[in-house]
Amino acid sequence: MPQTNAEAQIELHRALAPRYAYRYSFEFSRLFQEDWHAEMISHVPSDAERILDLGCGTGFFLAELEARHPGSVGLDISHEMLKVSDQYVPDARLVTGDAERLPFATGTFDVVFCKGSLHHTRDHVGFLANCREVLAGSGVLIMSEPCNDNPIIRLARAVLYRRSRHFDVGDQGFTRNGIVGLCEQAGFEVERVRKYGILAYVFAGFPDHLGVLRLVPGNALLTRLFIAVDRILCALPVLNLLGFHIVIVARPAAR
């Protein structure tokens, strides 16, 4: 039995690594992930050079980053996930390490990305403070994490995280105010908060969990439609409560 959360995450992601390749193996699911990645990458300042993807996993996001910003660094606690990254992004610099103990000097990066890694850790403020530490003063943190503002989504996640062997029972989503508060406690000023993913997230995001769209003719076209509808809903008051993820852009507050 794993003794620590770090050991539990290594164990969990050992089993998950092959599922990610499956998740990205359909045109419709890749379309959705690429749109999500483009939304995050759109916040990279034009002069940014040194970029870290924290919790890069199997490297699909890192591959898109690397295409636009060569020399990006990917760090993950799971060597099994990184082995897949190595196939997809052979030229990227990959580091096996723990986000709760980062092996980089203060101010090393212009941008730190976290896509879905914060909620796997237990010391959220510590994790974010580490991001703050390795960012240059003018740097930017770009994060996307599961959002639990909607009580139905919160309940569904709680059940899934407890029942499914693809999650750890201690993993949890965040409310908008909760995650903004965590960023502020860790020394960030939050610049932008936007919900992301409703229909496309559910139907196209995770064919390893919900594969119904695989059987639907024209699923790529339908995914494009879902993405467009989601973008409108996520921009509207109240309806944005339907969003499954929250994208945050934050900068180090003046010390």
Instruction: Give contact residues for ligand SAM (rule: CB under 6 A).
Output: 6, 9, 13, 55-57, 60-61, 76-78, 81, 98-100, 115-117, 120-121
**Shortest gap between Cβ of 255 and ligand SAM (angstroms)?**
25
Q: Shortest distance, CB of residue 13 to ligand SAM, whole angstroms?
A: 4
Q: Which is nearer to ligand SAM, 78 or 223 (CB)?
A: 78
CB of 172 to ligand SAM, least distance (A): 13
Minimum distance from CB of 100 to ligand SAM (Å)?
Answer: 5
- Cα separation, 54 vs 79, in Å, equals 14
100 or 133: whose CB is closer to ligand SAM?
100
Q: How far apart are CA 150 and CA 148, in angstroms?
A: 5
**How many whole angstroms separate alpha carbon 225 and alpha carbon 219?**
10
Check if the beta carbon of residue 79 is closer than 8 Å to that of residue 9.
Answer: no
- State the minimum distance, in angstroms, from the CB of residue 58 to ligand SAM: 6
Nearer to ligand SAM, 120 or 132 (CB): 120
Give dist(CA 121, CA 99) in Å, integer. Answer: 8
CA 207 to mean position of chain CA atoms: 17
Least CB distance to ligand SAM at residue 91 (A):
18
* Tokens describing residue 12: 């969990």
Rounded CA separation 184/181 (Å): 5
Nearer Cβ to ligand SAM (21/220)? 21
Nearer to ligand SAM, 170 or 218 (CB): 170
Pair 20, 85: CB distance under 8 Å: no
Of the candidates 69, 79, 134, 87, which has an alpha carbon nearest to the alpha carbon of residue 107? 134
Segments in 164-218 forming alpha helices (H): 176-185, 199-204
Please identify the residue of the shown chain whose CB is closest to the bound ligand SAM.
57
Per the document, the length of the chain is 255
Residue (55 or 187) nearer to ligand SAM, CB: 55
How far is 118 from 121, CA to CA, in rounded Å? 6
